[in-house]
């Protein structure tokens, strides 16, 4: 049994991770700046092995005390969503920088760290599928959306240096579009958006011409991947894609959602300039190669897209009744 600290623990992936850690008999501290009345994600509040600490990773003394007290540290705190990042690039970057600076100053070799990075660090790469060893091409600093990817990538560099210089066991997971129950709808993520439109019976909106492709990983697969990396010492000091390699265009995704849940709905294409703030750039394709994580841990995603969509739809429908 390990003492686990999860930053961003009140969030979507964090709350699913915490449920699994508690099921596996670990004790968990969730550290998040979300107010208590927003904690509908954390239904384990009554477990004696669970504690919620409200605060920010930028509160150095509080965060350091929590780090000192943990065996396993999962770093998930972040500002997400292209629109929010464009509106708040400085705060977005500071969360990553503050979080990793405290980790570098505080952790010891008996602790272990998981860092939640992102497919956004692949930037404008045209490669498909994306492998972890690719050279990276990010957008220019004048476009605020890249503040998220740059600060995640800086964190990767700092953490991998910590592994090399101080032998601190750690792994970096680059998530590709994780979906599932309780995903925050406010960020404009495509799956919760389209599903809530299908539930409301209003047209499904696709930004751009719908030919851009993505792949979607169910959160329970993503949590399995995180744990398989944390439980396998041969993964230490490495970067691993976490996702699903079933590629689909956003136009076809809308079509699929319509066919599965509400066949009479119209699909509307909306030009980016009508919906996205200045500084937005679309990335046409983003599909992970999962060979590396499979080779190191044996993990591969199990949940197919249709199954993931049905799970998200049912939960969303039940919560919106």
By annotation, the residues acting in catalysis are 148
Task: Report whether 288 contacts 245 (CB < 8 A).
Answer: yes
Pick one of 118, 241, 244, 289: the residue that binds ligand NAD (CB under 6 A): 118
Tokens representing 232? 């396998």
Q: Which is nearer to ligand NAD, 91 or 314 (CB)?
A: 91
Interface residue with ligand NAD, options 67, 78, 162, 170 (CB under 6 A): 78
Q: What distance in Å separates the CA atoms of residue 188 and residue 289, rounded to the nearest whole number? A: 25
Give the one residue of 3, 20, 22, 34 binding ligand NAD; rule: CB under 6 A: 34
Question: Is 222 or 265 the residue whose CB approaches ligand NAD more closely?
Answer: 222
Mask for 168-197, x = binds ligand NAD (CB under 6 A): -------x-xx-----x-------------
83: tokens are 């629109």
Helix-helix angle 190-200:250-261, to 10 degrees: 30
Give bridge partners of residue 247 from the DSSP assignment: 215
The CB-of-215 to ligand NAD minimum distance in angstroms stands at 11
Identify the residue among 10, 103, 144, 226 touching ligand NAD (CB under 6 A). Answer: 10
Q: How far apart are CA 286 and CA 291, in angstroms?
A: 16
Q: How far is the CB of 46 from ligand NAD (least distance, A)?
A: 20
> C-alpha distances in angstroms, 304 versus 3, 67, 81?
33, 36, 24
* 155 contributes a contact to ligand NAD by CB under 6 A: no
Within the chain, where are the H helices?
12-23, 60-68, 82-87, 89-106, 146-166, 190-200, 219-230, 250-261, 272-275, 291-297, 305-320
The answer to whether the beta carbons of residues 203 and 235 sit under 8 Å apart is no
**Interface with ligand NAD (CB under 6 A), residue from 5, 7, 112, 288:** 7
Pair type for strands 204-207 and 178-179: unpaired
Closest CA to 263 of 271, 253, 255: 255
138 or 262: CB nearest ligand NAD: 138
Q: How far is the CB of 15 from ligand NAD (least distance, A)?
A: 8
| Span from 32-40, 103-111, 256-264, 279-287 in contact with ligand NAD (CB under 6 A) | 32-40
**The two three-digit tokens of residue 98, written as one number:** 């503050």
* Shorter beta-carbon distance to ligand NAD: residue 155 or 197: 155
- Looking at the Cβ atoms of 127 and 202, the one nearer to ligand NAD is 127
Q: Which span (26-34, 193-201, 247-255, 260-268) binds ligand NAD, by CB under 6 A?
A: 26-34
Residues near ligand NAD (CB under 6 A) are 7-8, 10-14, 32-34, 56-58, 76-80, 95, 116, 118, 175, 177-178, 184
């Amino acid at each position: 049994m390990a003492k686990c600290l999860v930053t961003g623990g009140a969030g979507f992936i964090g709350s699913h991770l915490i449920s699994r850690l508690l099921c596996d008999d670990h004790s968990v501290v969730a550290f998040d700046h979300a107010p208590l009345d927003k904690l509908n994600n954390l239904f384990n509040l009554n477990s004696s092995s669970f504690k919620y600490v409200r605060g920010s990773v930028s509160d150095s003394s509080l965060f350091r005390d929590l780090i000192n007290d943990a065996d396993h540290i999962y770093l998930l705190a972040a500002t997400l969503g292209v629109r929010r990042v464009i509106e708040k690039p400085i705060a977005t970057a500071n969360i990553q920088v503050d979080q990793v600076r405290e980790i570098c100053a505080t952790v010891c070799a008996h602790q272990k760290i998981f860092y939640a990075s992102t497919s956004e660090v692949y930037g404008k790469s045209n490669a498909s599928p994306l492998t972890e060893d690719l050279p990276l091409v990010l957008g220019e600093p004048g476009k605020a959306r890249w503040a998220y990817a740059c600060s995640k990538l800086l964190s990767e560099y700092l953490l991998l240096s910590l592994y090399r210089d101080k032998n601190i066991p750690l792994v970096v997971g680059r998530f590709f579009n994780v979906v599932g129950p309780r995903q925050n709808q406010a960020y404009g993520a495509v799956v919760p958006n389209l599903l809530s439109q299908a539930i409301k019976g209003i047209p499904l909106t696709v930004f751009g011409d719908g030919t851009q492709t993505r792949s979607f990983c169910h959160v329970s697969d993503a949590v399995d991947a995180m744990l398989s990396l944390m439980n396998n010492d041969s993964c230490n000091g490495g970067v691993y894609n976490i996702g699903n390699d079933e590629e689909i265009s956003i136009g076809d995704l809308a079509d699929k959602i319509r066919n599965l849940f509400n066949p009479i709905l119209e699909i509307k294409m909306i030009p980016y300039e009508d919906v996205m703030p200045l500084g937005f750039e679309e990335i046409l394709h983003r599909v992970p190669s999962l060979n590396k994580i499979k080779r190191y841990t044996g993990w591969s995603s199990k949940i197919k897209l249709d199954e993931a969509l049905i799970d998200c739809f049912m939960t969303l429908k039940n919560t919106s009744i």
